């Protein structure tokens, strides 16, 4: 009987012998090590060895009897029986031959390291890391174990952890026979990440299942804190589509709090926590180059596993950086277990229909909405007080809580990130969660009604009160596509991955305003010249926003580029038309520091906005930052599907000046395939359409402003709101003229206003006039696509009849 197997002798086919971790490490060893990717040395004590222990000690009948009639809902009885079984396993004598085999293997891997090797001893169940059951956190592992006696003790405790309360409950919940699951034990060279960094990677977005990215979570110290949710890690998204061709396809970064790190212990305990110095907390713990190295390792592993399986396999990987010699090690790889089994042919749309005060913000998990009465849990002893249907609020969660967690309506934690235990278990149980809030246990009291909103998968929000919401299941089945391109209006990057699932032809209007107001929050001039901001509190807020970046201006550029890059990556290689900023002066003034730089205007709608800003001296530096961000998206991220669009361009001469200003900032029309469109939203754009289109690559008709200026109606005024109608004959005449001119000149012409989303008959009018594309709100995509198809078929029938 084989009791020990070294990594180099193991493949993924050996899961029945060595469990999920042992098999994945063997597989990684075989294909990553020849590619130059560091993989730690080690071996696995096989499942057969565990079975030998149980049989030699005669434990199988006793364990079977203790588990036979167990009700996992009876937490006290579950704890009593679980402890009894674990005590029996730990006390069982290890057969001499088995002990000799384990210690001989330990001496073998220690031989090249000048003494007893420092190892991690990790559980590796034969039923873990399956597509429909991750077994995340169910069994125990032990770090910084050194010496033969310590290794044997850790192996015993790993064996016993097959019967933790949480593991017993999980097997019952998932329908696994207890004695059909065995536990192998991985003995693996420790990577000294206590002196560096560690974390988790997924080869998809964990909230939406979008598989075009690698998600990297990273923090200082040993990786257990990231996995357990003891820290809020830094977060990075890398776009796979340009990973091999672009200099830096890191499309999103989020700075985590990283308050603590797990390091080697100084006393009897092998590990212990310590505070991270502020200077390290407020910077990213990985450079972009390091993030890209990890992402390439993840993609290599994904390709290998997918080729081996004959179908795409998305992975959940753990990694660690060795502080002693610097390289990154991949220390585990397993199949992702939530989206791999989800139905991708439908989408559930959640809409919050009420509002309330915000209690907490954090990382959104689950992509839904949940309501309930809060129950704040501050210790294991309080856990039984959680009633089914309540919202669990805690500093963090523990794997031992899983029998109770599955009864909760939702989960809120102070600590943790997108790959922590609370997040993984919430997804697997289908729960909505907001993790890493920083202070929910202080802001929420037991008995408070709360609503968790995690739609979009970016920021999760906890509102006071049980707010009303609606749900709708939408079919994503892709049928016949119309000739008219159906594009999307989108401004929130957090919605991009999910929205890209809708049948579409790209993004016809990506607005910068949401990114600037919600994600950047500060006026570009205030970031460039914080010394000119008069309010000390605002200056302090700007300093806090820019933590982790080279300077406040770099913060603006990076955040803007990441917002646009996320949208462009979600829809790549389809076109994404990005409209440069079109704030009015009153809207700019509402940004942090804005009042120190913006003029007061009586009618901002017709004032200092759009192209007029770009060519002005007062906004020259701000426009340069926008251009830097767009260059980063197209050149560094490699997202050349981004096209740029100029809003509110009043004169042809102004258009020439805008193009010249863009060229000064490295955005020259025609270079690297750059197309520059202009909004057709002023009657002058239609009257002089030929002259505008000689300078630009196409028109995107903005029906909102065009209606306002054609009818002389202030679209923000309630008094004349009844006059505002895009379907007015005067407006439609101008739109028809713009379409005809653009088509005659061979230029693109589309429409990105609100009208076709609100009025299906207006969409029909556009199709009949020969529009090339129309850009719609996401909720209008499916019904308007059907309407457009019907109109096109009718036109084809009419043409055939003639």
Dist. CA 91–CA 76, nearest whole Å: 23
C-alpha 699, offset from chain centre:
34
For residue 453, the surrounding DSSP H or E stretch is strand 449-453
Helix (H, G, I), strand (E, B) or coil at 152: helix
Catalytic residue among 421, 453, 523, 748: 421
CB neighbours of 234 closer than 8 A, spacing ≥ 6?
A: 217, 218, 219, 253, 254, 255, 256, 258, 284, 285, 286
Dist. CA 390–CA 410, nearest whole Å: 7
Q: Give the burial string for 576-600 (b: 16+ CB within 10 Å, else e).
A: bbbbbbbbbbbbbbebbbbbbbbee
Neighbours of 258 (CB within 10 A): 25
Contact 659, 694 (CB under 8 A): no
Contact 148, 88 (CB under 8 A): no
Catalytic residue among 285, 627, 680, 752: 752
User: Is 139 annotated in the active site?
Assistant: no
CA quadruple 511, 515, 518, 521: dihedral sign: negative
Dist. CA 50–CA 126, nearest whole Å: 11
Task: Name the E strands within 685-743.
Answer: 698-701
User: How far is CA 795 from each of CA 398, 586, 620, 770, rounded to the nearest angstrom?
Assistant: 62, 46, 48, 11
Phi, psi of 49 (to 5 degrees): -65, -40
What is the signed CA dihedral for 375, 378, 380, 382, rounded to 10 degrees?
-50
User: Is 802 annotated in the active site?
Assistant: no
Contact 573, 213 (CB under 8 A): no
Task: Name the E strands within 129-182.
Answer: 141-145
Cis check: omega of the bond before 573, within 30 degrees of 0: yes
Q: Considering only CA atoms, which of 164, 170, 102, 80 is closest in space to residue 130?
A: 170
Residues acting as catalytic residues: 421, 752
């Amino acid at each position: 009987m084989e009791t020990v197997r070294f990594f180099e002798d193991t493949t993924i086919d050996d899961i029945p012998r060595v469990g999920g971790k042992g098999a994945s490490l063997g597989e990684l060893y075989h294909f990553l090590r020849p590619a130059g990717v560091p993989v730690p040395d080690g071996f696995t004590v096989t499942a057969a060895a565990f079975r030998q222990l149980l049989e030699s000690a005669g434990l199988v009948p006793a364990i079977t009897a203790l588990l036979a009639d167990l009700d996992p809902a009876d937490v006290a009885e579950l704890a009593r029986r679980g402890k009894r079984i674990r005590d029996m396993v730990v006390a069982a004598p290890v057969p001499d031959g088995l002990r000799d085999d384990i210690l001989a293997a330990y001496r073998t891997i220690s031989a090249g390291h000048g003494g007893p090797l420092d190892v991690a001893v990790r559980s590796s169940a034969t039923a873990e890391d399956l597509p429909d059951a991750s077994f995340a956190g169910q069994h125990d592992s032990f770090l910084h174990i050194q010496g033969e006696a310590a290794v044997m003790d850790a192996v015993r405790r790993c064996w016993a952890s097959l019967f933790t309360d949480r593991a017993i409950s999980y097997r019952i919940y998932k329908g696994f026979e207890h004695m059909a699951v065995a536990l192998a034990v991985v003995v693996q060279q420790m990577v000294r990440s206590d002196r560096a960094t560690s974390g988790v990677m997924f080869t998809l977005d964990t909230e939406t299942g979008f598989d075009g990215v690698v998600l990297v979570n990273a923090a200082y110290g040993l990786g257990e804190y990231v996995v357990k949710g003891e820290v809020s890690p830094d977060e990075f998204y890398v776009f796979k589509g340009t990973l091999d061709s672009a200099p830096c396809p890191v499309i999103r970064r989020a700075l985590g709090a990283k308050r603590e790190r797990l390091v080697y212990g100084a006393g009897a305990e092998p590990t212990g926590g310590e505070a991270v110095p502020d200077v390290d907390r407020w910077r990213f713990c990985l450079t972009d180059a390091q993030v890209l190295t990890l992402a390439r390792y993840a993609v290599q592993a994904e390709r290998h596993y997918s080729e081996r399986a004959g179908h795409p396999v998305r992975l959940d990987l753990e990694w660690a950086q060795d502080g002693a010699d610097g390289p990154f090690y991949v220390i585990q790889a397993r199949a992702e277990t939530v989206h791999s089994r989800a139905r991708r042919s439908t989408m559930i749309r959640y809409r919050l229909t009420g509002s309330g005060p915000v209690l907490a913000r954090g990382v959104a998990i689950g992509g839904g909405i949940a309501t309930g009465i809060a129950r704040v849990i501050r210790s294991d002893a309080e856990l039984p007080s959680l009633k089914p249907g309540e919202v669990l609020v805690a500093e963090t969660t523990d794997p031992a809580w899983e029998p109770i967690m599955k009864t909760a309506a939702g989960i809120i934690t102070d600590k943790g990130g997108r790959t922590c235990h609370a997040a993984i278990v919430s997804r697997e149980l289908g729960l909505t969660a907001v993790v890493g809030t920083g202070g929910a246990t202080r802001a929420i009291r037991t008995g408070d009604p709360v609503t968790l909103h995690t739609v979009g998968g970016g920021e999760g929000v906890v509102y006071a009160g049980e707010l009303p919401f609606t749900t709708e299941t939408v079919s994503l089945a892709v049928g016949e596509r119309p000739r008219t391109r159906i594009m999307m209006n989108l401004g929130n990057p957090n919605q991009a991955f999910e929205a890209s699932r809708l049948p579409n032809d790209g993004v016809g209007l990506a607005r910068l305003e949401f990114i600037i107001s919600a994600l950047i929050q500060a006026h570009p001039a205030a970031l460039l010249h914080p010394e000119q901001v008069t309010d000390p509190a605002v200056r302090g807020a700007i300093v806090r926003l820019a933590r982790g970046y080279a300077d406040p201006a770099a913060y603006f550029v990076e955040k803007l580029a990441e917002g646009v890059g996320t949208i462009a990556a979600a829809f790549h290689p389809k076109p994404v038309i990005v409209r440069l900023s079109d704030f009015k002066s009153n809207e700019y003034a509402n940004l942090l520091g804005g009042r120190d730089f913006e003029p007061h205007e009586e009618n901002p709608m017709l004032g200092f906005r759009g192209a007029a800003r770009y060519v002005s001296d007062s906004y020259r530096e701000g426009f340069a930052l926008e251009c830097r961000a767009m260059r980063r998206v197209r050149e560094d991220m490699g997202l050349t599907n981004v096209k740029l669009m100029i809003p509110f361009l009043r004169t042809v001469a102004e258009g020439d000046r805008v193009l010249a200003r863009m060229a000064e900032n490295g955005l020259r029309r025609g270079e690297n395939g750059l197309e520059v469109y202009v909004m057709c939203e002023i009657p002058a754009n239609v009257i002089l359409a030929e002259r505008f289109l000689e300078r630009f690559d196409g028109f995107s008709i903005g029906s909102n402003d065009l209606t306002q200026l054609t009818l002389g109606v202030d679209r923000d005024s309630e008094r004349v709101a009844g006059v505002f109608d895009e379907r007015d004959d005067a407006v439609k005449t101008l739109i028809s003229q713009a379409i005809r001119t653009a088509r005659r000149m061979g230029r693109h012409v589309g429409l990105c206003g609100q009208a076709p989303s609100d009025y299906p008959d207006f969409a029909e009018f556009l199709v009949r006039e020969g529009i090339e594309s129309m850009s719609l709100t996401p909720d209008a995509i499916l019904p308007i696509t059907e309407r457009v198809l019907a109109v096109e078929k009718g036109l084809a029938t009419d043409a055939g009849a003639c």
